[in-house]
Structure 1
């Protein structure tokens, strides 16, 4: 988004976490940052609670916001954060190696945004068996109880908000919808997709869905996908996008085809760039998430566990809010002025 790029889804580690050195040498994981309250994370900080953070990538502004919020919240508590990331969205092996690395460093808890909701399970189990509390941020594992707790957007509900707004905006028009999905296998992708269909009042395979493509939440891939889909479904009047980078890429294709006044576009993210694109009319509406809250609440939960042994549990909704300057009857929303005051990135 200047348009964000979110490039915004397996096996058990060997005994004793011995694959860490090899994985790091091969570049399977990136040291995104190591923030702490006084001192280098590699040498520790006395009695400070050490918290591991593993994000999907280290460059996407969504995950940068999570990392910065986690570090700031940890500093308030005298804790330290060691932040690692996969090389790309979908780098499950990099995240497995990151978990092994963090356990070997003696962290009390690990916060993770899983690249694969099921592929990371063995590494998570090894960490929990070693006494580490593991919390999913943003993306739930499958099954959800593979981690101690999840702090995330209710992505199904966010998709419902998205779909309801599109349906209300279309009014009496019969929907002819293209769906630009994310990465197969991720719970975020599935929940948002299903929620959008529910909000639209559609079922999977409905004839109203005139085109569908996976984009990995990447702007360039979304633009190419939309260009191809427009050749087969030029009468499209509504567009679901997995995130704002996908919406931005799709808009470029739609604009080049001269159909920007024909297609109603909705998305999910709530970045400052995305809110600005809603204001400009690039996106009709977006559903804002609050990644900083995910990180802050996750850090607080690990610190509490370290102090009194109480583990967090269950799914904890960090909220979502539809943002648009074109409010629709029956769909609660905030305008872009509110969005600009509350956005991230």
Structure 2
């Protein structure tokens, strides 16, 4: 059921369940900061979105390389806030020294995060900032306003002076990622919320199937558009399927920069994507966790891990790389 959180329930010697992943498990109480033993827990939004799969795999590999113990949990779906709260509580009970989290809701997990920090656990946000930002010790993430602005600037340039008529397929309401990318795109293309140039908008929770359905619904109201904003690449693939079913070829941009997304750009499904670097987020988060366990030192503030426009149709005034570069560097995995 959608309302139920699907988490890994772990007992000694037993790893179970669908809907989440445990990379490694340990027992006992938390090792204090400065003890030298890093025990890292990762909480992602889902375990199925390729972006969060890459984040988890990168964090697991980094932990193994640095001798840290590692545990990963995820909710059942993008927006499963209760599942993330339970994951945090589970990890504190299992003795983590650091929790890395991509919060579904930028406010909905704050109480659980505060309890973890009061217990001596360092908490770092990856990919998605909390609100307020200082609810965690530090954030390693894409500057999502800048990424949205890059997408908007590209779409504006590609319209070549034509007045925009835009459909916006957003992410999860209440997420800073969704808000920042949405606002950045509008800034880049030169619009504001409520502008009649936005001919339709809806949330798709970053899910391809939902995005296709929402796009189909919006196209039933109007097909008079020349551009589509998508919050991430699964959303873009869903929007493309809906457009293709109607025989429409519309200028579309996205954000993620996964290998599949870069290939989508090369194949002409959408004109550009803004690549971000989850491997760098994960590796730097794990490195910070190891330092904290050894020395008690904590990072602070927002650390931007960068973003790059990927397209085979470069536009004046919009710095970019082509899909050959993109396929060699997607998500920092190659």
Tell whether 2:255 aligns with 1:285: no
Tell whether 2:176 aligns with 1:191: no
Q: CA deviation at 1:41?
A: 3.3
Partner of 2:311: 324
Q: CA deviation at 1:94?
A: 1.0
Question: Matched residues in 1 for 2:317 and 2:207: separation?
Answer: 32
Aligned length: 316
Q: Deviations over 1:214-234 (max 9, x none)?
A: 111111111122122122221
Stretch moving more, 145-154 or 218-227: 218-227
Partner of 1:159: 148
> Do the aligned residues in 2 keep the contact of 1:62 with 1:291 (CA within 8 Å)?
yes
Q: Please report the TM-score for the alignment, with normalisation by the length of structure 2.
A: 0.90
Q: Please report the TM-score for the alignment, with normalisation by the length of structure 1.
A: 0.87
Tell whether 2:142 aligns with 1:128: no
Return closer, same or farther for 1:43/1:71 CA change in 2, 3 Å cut-off: farther
Tell whether 2:221 aligns with 1:232: yes
Return closer, same or farther for 1:296/1:203 CA change in 2, 3 Å cut-off: same
Tell whether 2:35 aligns with 1:50: no
Partner of 1:311: 298
Stretch moving more, 127-136 or 243-252: 243-252
SS of the equivalent of 1:32 reads coil
SS of the equivalent of 2:199 reads strand
Partner of 2:70: 81
Question: Matched residues in 2 for 1:336 and 1:31: separation?
Answer: 32
Partner of 1:105: 94
Question: Matched residues in 2 for 1:323 and 1:67: separation?
Answer: 24
> Do the aligned residues in 2 keep the contact of 1:275 with 1:339 (CA within 8 Å)?
yes
Q: Deviations over 1:205-261 (max 9, x none)?
A: 11111111111111111112212212222110000001111111111111121211x
Partner of 1:246: 235
Tell whether 2:257 aligns with 1:270: yes
- Pairing partner for 1:300 from 262, 287, 293: 287
> Do the aligned residues in 2 keep the contact of 1:241 with 1:247 (CA within 8 Å)?
yes
Q: Deviations over 1:149-181 (max 9, x none)?
A: 000010000000000000000012111001011
Q: Which runs of 5 or more structure 2 residues have no equivalent in the other structure?
A: 3-8, 11-15
Question: Matched residues in 1 for 2:73 and 2:209: separation?
Answer: 26
Question: Matched residues in 2 for 1:322 and 1:251: separation?
Answer: 19
Stretch moving more, 232-241 or 120-129: 232-241
Tell whether 2:329 aligns with 1:342: yes
Question: Matched residues in 2 for 1:267 and 1:72: separation?
Answer: 28
SS of the equivalent of 1:34 reads coil
SS of the equivalent of 1:178 reads strand
Q: Which runs of 5 or more structure 1 residues have no equivalent in the other structure?
A: 1-6, 8-19, 22-26
Question: Matched residues in 2 for 1:65 and 1:42: separation?
Answer: 26
Question: Matched residues in 2 for 1:31 and 1:80: separation?
Answer: 18
